[in-house]
Amino acid sequence: MHRTRPGALLIAGGVGITPIRALLEEESAGDVVVLYRVRSESDAVLADEVRALVEERGGRLHLLTGRTAEGLSPFEPESLRALVSDITERDVYVCGPPAMTSAVLSSLRALKVPRRQVHSERFGLA
């Protein structure tokens, strides 16, 4: 993990949890908050492992369920700030589908999270 700040916010969508889980295994994970976006709890693969890793580090895990089409938008700037009040003081790692990643990156810009603190990876089928 390329850290610039003591705290980290790890944001995963769907199977994007796999690289986020790997980041949690690094010894330098430190003060960490994880936002894990899935349609339903049954879609939250690796949730138990991620929860255990977060708890070992004294961090917080927020499992964000539902569909954005249903009016749920956990990645709006106000929602992110409500979940992680010190978001501008953290390194932010985002891994998920292109639409989710774009929404998160847009919100991070609106919140004025410094670009050097933002790391992202998009995945999807061609």
Q: Higher-confidence residue: 1 or 107?
A: 107
Contact assessment for residue 10 and residue 33, using Cβ atoms and an 8 Å cutoff: yes
Tell me the residue range of the domain where 15 lies: 7-122
Give the tens place of pLDDT for each residue, 81-108: 999 999 999 999 999 999 899 999 999 9
Q: What is the mean pLDDT of the chain?
A: 88
CATH number, position 59: 3.40.50.80
Supply the pLDDT for residue 29.
59
Does residue 2 sit within a domain?
no
Domains held by the chain: number:
1
Residue 81 CB partners (closer than 8 Å, separation 6+): 87, 111
Q: Higher-confidence residue: 42 or 112?
A: 112
pLDDT for residue 33 is more than 90: yes
Interatomic CA distance for residues 82 and 34, integer angstroms: 14
Does residue 108 sit within a domain?
yes
- Give alpha helix (H) positions in the chain: 17-25, 47-56, 77-83, 98-110
* pTM of the model as a whole: 0.89
